[in-house]
Amino acid sequence: MAGGKETPRQKMIGMMYLVLTALLALNVSKQIVAAFVTLNDKLDSSVNIINDKASDNYSAFEAKRAALLAQKGDLREFNQWNDKVLQVKKETAAMVNFLLGESNEMIKEAEGEDWVAEKDEEGNIVALKPLIDIQSMDNYDIPTNMFVGGNPTSPVERGLAIRDKMHKYRNMVCGLMGTYTFGDNSYQFNAPDNPEGLSDALKTANPDDTAAISQFYRSLTIPEKLHAHGEEKDMPWASVTFDHAPIVAAAAMFTSLKLDVKNAEAMAGEFMLAKVKAPIFVFNKIEPTAFASSSYINQGESLDLNVMVAAVDTTAIHKIRWGMDEDTLPERWTETQGKIALEGTEPGPHRVKGAIGVQERGSISWKPWSFDYNVGQPMGVIAQPKMRILYRDYDNILEGTASGFASDKVRLSSSDVSLSKRGNQWVARAGSGVRSAKISVIGTKDDGSSVNLGSFEYKVKPLPKPQMYFGSISNGANPTLANAKAQKNSKVSVRYDESVTLTDVKFRLVSGTVKADGLNRKGKINANGFLDEDAKKVIDQSRGKQVTMIMKYKNPSGNTYKTALVFEVR
């Protein structure tokens, strides 16, 4: 299903797709049926890697927007392509939802329960439960009845609709890629229904785009018919794919189609990003920020609060010139780096003013800034030293204080989360159905009455998914054989990378497996994180192969999950 110049990974995916299609045409054994579970997991791991690339493209669009705004550039060209890439993102999510929805309906028919594991904020399905948990994995009646019917030469409409929807998605994205205005030129591309009309359709497109559009078009083109094992003539694609296919094989095919769609999303995003001519400011973190002209007001007054998204480079150390109160004149500024410690010893309003050095076009440009704050009477507050939100399956540490009340006269209260005292701190545990929580600081007066000193809103989210590492090798890496062998005696670990700021979150390893493409040998990862001898031999023979490690682990609450590490050895 690919055409044009392909990367080695795309070639590998294409070969796996061909093998999958061929095996579906055979009366496979139990052992091969089980192998489809492994194949599906490998495809899903590839989806995760490609999804990261698509996410990088969307982040790069935001970086280019920031650059254009900072330079007061023209946003018309950016808006044209940003609108297109957001439509691609939306349609891709809908297409993946359709494919996984069909797979879920098929599995639910056999298992009697919904097989959806995760949905996005829009309600689209993004992941299914592991196929290894399916009891009827060799059932082939359900895929056949749902997508083929009783006559393989004329499949039912539901089976034909899969190919039709893939092509409709293909044509829509191709149209977005090839139809646009640039300066005084307007280009148009209307995708044909079949590849025979591609050459004529490309005549109205920008000649510079034809190679990319053609490659994209062919990558999502599904043949109408395929050669079926044991048949004298070619059969419809749906029949060859799903007729007498075990459920796990049919589910793996849907995962393969999902991989094609996500790869297409990344290709389209990269194509559209290249059309926006703007520099990219370097940043590695995006976070919300809120600021106002003052940080203190009296009762009855109002305050204008600005809430924005800030993009920062946490690896850069900027020079800062600043002064406070009577030292706000530039000639009195001092120069420093990093954080500025503002003292609260003197009550009343204070003003801090200065400039920060920002790299622009190879030189430092000084950008002015100012900050007003007020030292006044304190009020009841909640301090959350480890994080700013509450996480499920985690002991969220809170500290409640209030001016005028002894520590033993202050408590926290909430009807949304459970709270327990631990020393001078509080532990908040959020239930599975809670998405937000209000926590109040309650003070007890000498007469025994209680007063609410302030209530605070928190968002509740699941713990971020950890990453798997093999020594120094991370997911998607491309180490040399010597480097891979050097890690043999290193531990496999499951942990958060530096982008996740949570601390003291421990994940306990349960067991894992190690394998490499083309090798019959399969090794194990012990609960202590070290490889057994078979696994080490797999690493020794992994030159030029893709190594897949799958690990079961338990989160802090004891729930068991799976994660994967995939890398290619040079």
pLDDT of residue 305: 67
Quick check: 444 pLDDT over 90? no
Q: Which of 337, 340, 339 is nearest to 327 (CA)?
A: 340
pLDDT of residue 367: 81
150-159, 219-228, 387-396, 451-460: least confident range:
387-396
For residue 378, what pLDDT band results from cuts at 50, 70 and 90?
very low
Alpha-carbon gap, residue 272 to 102, rounded angstroms: 30
More confident residue, 303 or 538: 538
- Mean per-residue pLDDT, 151-173: 95
- Mean per-residue pLDDT, 451-477: 89
- Mean per-residue pLDDT, 468-492: 92
- DSSP assignment, residue 26? S
pLDDT of residue 301: 42
User: Which residues, in sequence order, are CB contacts of 129 under 8 Å at separation 6+?
Assistant: 115, 116, 117
- The single residue listed with the structure tokens 């406070």 is 324
Quick check: 10 pLDDT over 70? no
- Mean per-residue pLDDT, 359-376: 69
Helix, strand and coil in the chain, % to nearest 5: 35, 30, 35
Query: In Å, what is the CA distance from 410 to each residue of 68, 157, 387, 422, 445?
Result: 50, 66, 21, 13, 10
- CA 517-33-20 angle, to 5 degrees, is 55
State the helix-helix crossing angle for 30-70 and 8-24, rounded to 10 degrees.
150
Quick check: 362 pLDDT over 60? no
pLDDT of residue 524: 95
Residue pair 179/187 in contact (Cβ under 8 Å)? The answer is yes
Query: In Å, what is the CA distance from 10 to each residue of 36, 173, 260?
Result: 20, 19, 9
Q: Which of 219, 252, 249, 257 is nearest to 25 (CA)?
A: 249
More confident residue, 99 or 505: 99
Could you give the percent of the chain with pLDDT greater than 90? 45
Quick check: 180 pLDDT over 90? yes
- Mean per-residue pLDDT, 38-58: 86
3-state SS, residue 150: coil
For residue 338, what pLDDT band results from cuts at 50, 70 and 90?
confident
- Mean per-residue pLDDT, 515-534: 92
3-state SS, residue 303: coil
The residues with which 554 forms a beta bridge, in sequence order, are 508, 560
For residue 333, what pLDDT band results from cuts at 50, 70 and 90?
confident
Quick check: 387 pLDDT over 60? no
Alpha-carbon gap, residue 4 to 377, rounded angstroms: 69
- CA 544-472-60 angle, to 5 degrees, is 85
Q: Give 160-196 as a 3 state SS string.
A: HHHHHHHHHHHHHHHHHHHCEEECCEEECCCCCCCHH
The pLDDT tens digits of the residues spanning 265-314 come to 999 999 999 998 876 655 556 667 666 655 544 344 455 667 766 656 66
Quick check: 247 pLDDT over 60? yes
Residue pair 435/444 in contact (Cβ under 8 Å)? The answer is no
Query: In Å, what is the CA distance from 280 to each residue of 220, 285, 288, 311?
Result: 31, 14, 20, 11
- Mean per-residue pLDDT, 170-180: 96
3-state SS, residue 460: strand
Domains of the chain, earliest start first: 8-275 (no CATH), 285-375 (no CATH), 381-461 (2.60.40.3440), 467-568 (2.60.40)
